[in-house]
Chain A
């Protein structure tokens, strides 16, 4: 898996993101909130590699701290969505019957009637801004994808001979699920989680761009892009650097998802890259 250069690239980017996230205060050349009005809107170069914004803040430092916000929101949303989705999807898929009909037909389909991020937008719009409110808002719609996937996989597995055999040996339901079925369905879940991380990072940046995500002065990439739009004529670097940061982060997650798919599930290998 790691022989593919694109996989290496994605691992390097994700490693860099993690490094920025964990060691932002040590890595950032300046305080991301420190304003230096005399040196506002400086282009890249000199003392500021990525230039400065309209308040004279160092763009590179803000991008490094922005990685921390992206990862914090992204990982939290994936973990919460995965936990809730696993629980609900497992129950629906394993027990079937009215529980499955209720979860699948009523809850999941109704929530899917909202187009993706609109649900999060509705919550965040009225909960108000804030990182954890954003995480909750994104998780409210985020678990559905995992629940659907897990439900479908468990539905397929539970009829197979090995599950029937384990059941006949008197294994309780929870052991059947955790020790027998889950190890066989974990691959597609991991793939979805990798792609979901990119999706959550994108959603955070989108909502922040729309002014409904992480409140200023926190340096979210989406907020930086939105602020930069006002200076598209005189300081295009304010758009270019955050845009590249978001793109690289999402690209890395998507590459990783593809690479994991090829590695973990060769049957799905479409040899696209």
Chain B
């Protein structure tokens, strides 16, 4: 089982090296996607009745009069300095705006992840242990229901029940912990459902392994067999799924933030899209993609730590 550290370091080094070109492709794709589609942001900003001279002047001021390759070069050069440009709409640094909104999105997604884990691990284990019985069937039904309930439908319904009818929680906004509960539930439900199915399948697979039989044969209590032996191994594939599903959380955050007026990157992206604020849209997409790539890299590292077999692969 003991493996040398250099192999793990090499594996992660390779992963990191492989990630850089992906980030570059993402940046390029987003840039050209935004610039090649029809629609003039300057016209949009100044309105239909703007004078041609003003439009031209504005275009020059924003650097939009340059040929596309030159704009791309400028953008990349700025990016290397950590400068994502200036937002057309807010007239301030895109980096600054994103940094100000980023913590709110992280708070929401991590809270949703917590909701998902708190529900799915016990539910998945109970399902696996009571396979085929009513508890398993009930949890199976509930998780499929959770999986099928879109967050944009769940959010307003939760507001309707818990904020308006029962008056227990605030309708929207960010602030106290109470503000976080409904958005985190809205965002975390689908993930909880997916993870429950995964934990169940994974624990079931482990329960059939020889080491579990050995542990039982040694006379270990079922609780120890389950939580100390089975669950530890059973959670390994769940780690990967969490990484992959994090992207869904980030995009789900757009909907959830819109519903609950949560001041995060998701809502910012939509506002920027509607205002055709190119630099801000680019910055938001970049922030979301890089976060997603970073989380997947982190998942890989975690995976390597918990499953030494991967390092040899």
Evaluate contact between B251 and A254: CB separation under 8 angstroms.
no
Q: How far is the CA of A210 from the CA of B257 in the complex (A)?
A: 11
**Contacting residues, chain A, for B148 (C-beta < 8 A):** 198, 247, 250-251, 254
Evaluate contact between A122 and B30: CB separation under 8 angstroms.
yes
- With A110-B29, A254-B148 known to touch, is A117 a contact of B251 (CB < 8 Å)? yes
Query: Does A239 have its Cβ within 8 Å of any Cβ on chain B?
Result: yes
Q: Which of B37, B145, B285, B288 contacts A127 (CB 8 A)?
A: B37
Evaluate contact between B289 and A114: CB separation under 8 angstroms.
yes
**Contacting residues, chain B, for A246 (C-beta < 8 A):** 150, 153
Evaluate contact between A232 and B160: CB separation under 8 angstroms.
yes
Query: Does B301 have its Cβ within 8 Å of any Cβ on chain A?
Result: no
Interface size class of A (residues with CB under 8 A): 35 or more
Q: How far is the CA of A146 from the CA of B224 in the complex (A)?
A: 41
Contacting B at CB under 8 A, from A174-226, are 198, 202, 205-206, 209-212, 222, 225-226
Query: Does B120 have its Cβ within 8 Å of any Cβ on chain A?
Result: no
- With A229-B156, A239-B156 known to touch, is A123 a contact of B33 (CB < 8 Å)? yes
Which of B47-55, B57-65, B130-138, B210-218 is the contact stretch?
B130-138
Query: Does A165 have its Cβ within 8 Å of any Cβ on chain B?
Result: no
Q: How far is the CA of A209 from the CA of B164 in the complex (A)?
A: 22
Which of A39-47, A49-57, A74-82, A265-273 is the contact stretch?
A265-273
A-B contact count (CB 8 A): 130
Evaluate contact between B152 and A222: CB separation under 8 angstroms.
yes
Evaluate contact between A232 and B25: CB separation under 8 angstroms.
no
Distance in angstroms from A4 CB to nearest chain B CB is 11
Distance in angstroms from B217 CB to nearest chain A CB is 26
Q: Which of B150, B258, B270 contacts A247 (CB 8 A)?
A: B150
Interface, chain B (partner A; CB < 8 A) = 22-23, 25-26, 29-30, 33-34, 37-39, 127, 131-132, 136-137, 140-141, 144-145, 147-150, 152-154, 156-157, 159-160, 164, 197, 200-201, 204, 246-248, 250-251, 254-255, 258-259, 269-270, 273-274, 281, 285, 288-289, 292-293
